[in-house]
Amino acid sequence: MSNSRNVALATTTNITTTYAGEFAGEYIAAALLSASTIDDGGLTVKANIAFKEVIKKLATNALVSPASCDFTPTSTITLTERIIQPVELQVNLQLCKYDFVNDWEAQSMGYGLGQALPPKFSDFMIAHVAAEVAQNTELCIWQGDTAAAANNSFDGFEKLIAASAAAGDIPAGQQVAAIAGGLDAANIVTELSKVVDAIPASLYGKEDLFVYVGSAAAKFYVQALGGFGANGLGANGVSNMGTQWWNNGSLTVNGVKIFVCPGMSVNKMYAAQRSNLYFGTGLLNDTNAVKVLDMQDLDASNNVRMVMRFTSAVQFGIASDLVEYA
């Protein structure tokens, strides 16, 4: 890390800061791992993938058999492999110091006693960009499509799972057709039940099993349980409290925990184990970089350039352990 000059609390603030390799990892982690699906514990994170990693899963059948004096192989082992290969991404952003210095000065003075605040303008800028990267990462985890015009940083679960379903890797009974017209409070209970019904018996009851839904589906479910959907609960819903019974706590459906993913598309839902869904990055990679470059000494402008380089990707392990509602 190197700091050239740092003059505080003025629009003439001049700060150039560079972090590279593993020293950038702290800032990269703050950006990537703050995505809601990751931060809330919905995925298994592989944080130090240098280039690519093979996800291997073992499955056996007929493992136990009646005892005998002979050695007779009675089971087979099936090894499945999928590759997770984080792609190199970057942020190139130019901002005017005049647009941000007032906000930074307000934060530096604090809104109340005991509040931790960024001591340097460069930290404030990095935090701002990190929040934007986290939001983009959340969208790409689910809706990512490298062939699309938006959310194209890396291929997300929606595209990957759809491809496996089309290839027949996901059993037909675990591919649930979405209701025509889309989800709403009147049908969400029925549609969620379809997803749970499609979960293989071998997975039902697993500790890390979730039904992953988008924000809209979660709101419909809360509304339905509050009694405002055609679900048989009556006008006052759970415990005669309407929607007031829920205060951002946990949701379940038919014994399975619900995981809310803000980045997921509307009218899509998935059932999976957290241990079967992966997010990969390389926090110790030498190619990681976070740089705040003050342009004042270079072109006499009041612009600040932000550069961030990192890697990201998602992947699942066993397609036959997934349920797709799409």
pLDDT of residue 4: 37
Tokens 């293989």 belong to residue: 200
Does 278 score more than 50 pLDDT? yes
At 185 the three-state DSSP class reads coil
Confidence class of residue 10 from pLDDT cuts 50, 70 and 90? Answer: very low
The enclosing domain of 215 has a CATH number of 3.90.1690
Least confident of 50-59, 238-247, 281-290: 238-247
Average pLDDT over residues 32-41: 92
Tokens 């797709």 belong to residue: 324
CA torsion through residues 45, 82, 256, 213, sign:
positive
Averaged confidence pLDDT in the chain:
82
**Is residue 71 one of the residues assigned to a domain?**
no
Q: Nearest CA to 250 among 198, 193, 276, 211?
A: 211
pLDDT of residue 96: 82
Q: What whole-number distance in Å separates Cα of residue 174 and Cα of residue 202?
A: 13
**Is residue 72 one of the residues assigned to a domain?**
no
**Helix (H) or strand (E) run with residue 188 in it:** helix 188-197
Q: How many domains does the chain have?
A: 1
* Host domain of residue 39: 2-57+77-325
Q: What whole-number distance in Å separates Cα of residue 37 and Cα of residue 212?
A: 10
